[in-house]
Amino acid sequence: HDPRRRDFINIAAVAWAGVGAGVIVLPLINQMNPSADVLALSTTEIDISKIEPGQSIKSTFRKQPLFVRNLTPKEIAEADAVAISDLRDPQSLEERTKAGKKNWLITLGVCTHLGCVPLGAGEGENKGPFGGYFCPCHGSAYDTAGRIRQGPAPTNLVVPEYAFTSDTVVTVG
């Protein structure tokens, strides 16, 4: 009798059971979610007519939080005053907005560190030391262009694909 050999057989049996469970679980999960191609095609229309300068709304896009913010002239000036070379993820406000619509900052509301939802889009929420958004999980601070300025997040808040389908409607996706 060799105990080491029996251990090996037991471990192999357990590992095999684990693989089997994985194979059974995956199709169930896939049935509950829309398929990847459906998600890829889905767009979200947002009415921006009621968002005054200085206000933001929280929406969702493909199941992720989405922030739509109407920047004030002061917030635009603050973003423009920053030297791009000082930024961790160098991008101008121009590059992150549409031509002639620099006041509309549209980003995912997902911190690029570990994915928490930053504060700052809701009425009265803490916008953090750079006046944009503040992630309470580990203290990442974003500026009025949604660019990372302080804390562990590596990159700016993501700007999704979007277009103005009228003066008051934005279609994201």
User: For binding to ligand FES (CB under 6 A), which residues are involved?
Assistant: 111, 113-116, 135, 137-140, 151-153
CB nearer ligand FES, residue 11 or residue 114 = 114
Cβ contact 155:148 at 8 Å: yes
Beta bridge partners of 67: 58, 107
Quick one: DSSP state of residue 121?
A: S
CB nearer ligand FES, residue 137 or residue 159 = 137
In 28-95, the DSSP E strands lie at 44-47, 56-61, 64-70
- C-alpha distances out from residue 7 to 10, 61, 71, 96, Å: 5, 50, 65, 58
Beta-carbon count within 10 A of 145 CB: 30
CA 49 to chain centroid, in Å, comes to: 23
CB nearer ligand FES, residue 113 or residue 127 = 113
Active site residues: 138
CB nearer ligand FES, residue 6 or residue 138 = 138
